[in-house]
Amino acid sequence: MEESIGRFLDQEGRVKAWPAKRAVQKLIIEYISGKFESGRTYSEKEVNAILTKWHTFGDYFILRRGLVEEGLMKRTPNGAAYRRSEVVLDENADNGRSDVLPADNTESPDPETIGESLSSLPQTVDDYIAAQPEAVQSILREVRAVIREALPDAREKISWRMPTFYKKTNIIHFAAFKNHLGIYPGDEGVRHFSDRIGEYKNSKGAIQFPYDQPVPLQLIAEIAKWCDETGNHH
C-alpha cells in the first residue's frame, strides 16, 4: 500500500498532503487506520493525538471523519470514544457501515479519560467560541455572523465537534485550528468554488483560511448560501 501512496507521505511516513482522487483518499484512510491498535478503545483526545502525529497538512478532522465514514473507526453511542474496525476497503464502493458501536458491544475505556473528554467538549456554538484564544474568537464571531445572515432559516449546533449550521441535515461547518480557520462545505462545495479558493489550501470537503490573512467573509457567505440552495447538505 505504501508504494501506491508514497508521494503523499514524508520520509517519516506521515501524510503530507490530501489527495484529490477518491480512490487514493481511501488508501490514505486505510493506511492511517493501521496506526491504531485493533480492539483497543480510544478517547477522542487520544485519536486526535495519533492523527496529529501521523499527518502534517494541518487538518486532522478530515482524517478522523474519513475513518468513521469508511467504517474503519467506530464511535461509542455517546461519541466520546472510538475503536478501530477490521474492514478492508473496496476503493470503488461505498462501505455503507454504521459509524456507531452498539451500546451492548462497546468496550469501556478509562472512565477518567472519558469524563475528562465529555466535560471539556463544547455543547453550544457559544461555548465553542469562548474556548478559543481571544484573537481567534473575534474571527469566529464574524464568520458565524455572515453565515447566519446567509442562512437566516438555519439552526446552529455542534456536530463533528464543530459549529454547524443545519436545517434537516448539516449545511456547513467551521472550526478553529492553531494557524487557520477551517470551513467544511463538503466535496461538491470545494469543487464548485475551486476557481476562487485556489490561493488557499483545500482538500476533501475542506478549505483552510490562515489567520495571518484577511478572512474572506463574503466568500464564506456565498459558499454557505450555495450549499443551502443547491441542497449540498452533508
Residue 65: the pLDDT is 85
Instruction: Decide if pLDDT at 14 tops 90.
Output: yes
Distance, CA of 11 to CA of 124 (rounded, Å): 40
Average pLDDT of the residues of the chain? 82
Residue 88: the pLDDT is 46
Whether pTM exceeds 0.85: no
pLDDT tens digit sequence for 156-176? 998 888 999 999 899 999 999
**CB-based contacts of 91-96 (< 8 A; 24+ apart in sequence):** 91/22, 91/23, 91/26, 91/27, 92/23, 95/70, 95/71, 96/71
Residue 94: the pLDDT is 41
Most confident residue range from 47-61, 66-80, 210-224: 210-224
pLDDT tens digit sequence for 89-143? 444 444 443 333 333 333 333 433 333 344 457 889 999 999 999 999 999 999 9
Distance, CA of 162 to CA of 151 (rounded, Å): 17
Give mean pLDDT, residues 22-42: 88
H-only helix segments in 7-100: 22-33, 44-53, 60-69
Counting beta carbons within 10 angstroms of the beta carbon of residue 163, is it exposed (0 to 12), middle (13 to 18) or buried (19 or more)? buried
Residue 62: the pLDDT is 86
User: Percent of the chain at pLDDT above 90?
Assistant: 50
Residue 59: the pLDDT is 84
Q: Which three cell numbers stand for residue 98?
A: 454504521
Give mean pLDDT, residues 79-93: 62
Amino acid (one-letter) located at 181:
L
Strand partners, 9: 15
Dihedral of the alpha carbons of 126, 228, 217, 208, in degrees to the nearest 10: 80
Residue 83: the pLDDT is 87
Q: Are the C-beta atoms of residues 215 and 139 closer than 8 Å to each other?
A: yes
Give mean pLDDT, residues 31-45: 88
List the CATH code of the domain at 125-229.
3.90.1150.200
Domain assignments of the chain as residue spans, ordered by start: 6-120, 125-229
Q: Which three cell numbers stand for residue 136?
A: 481567534
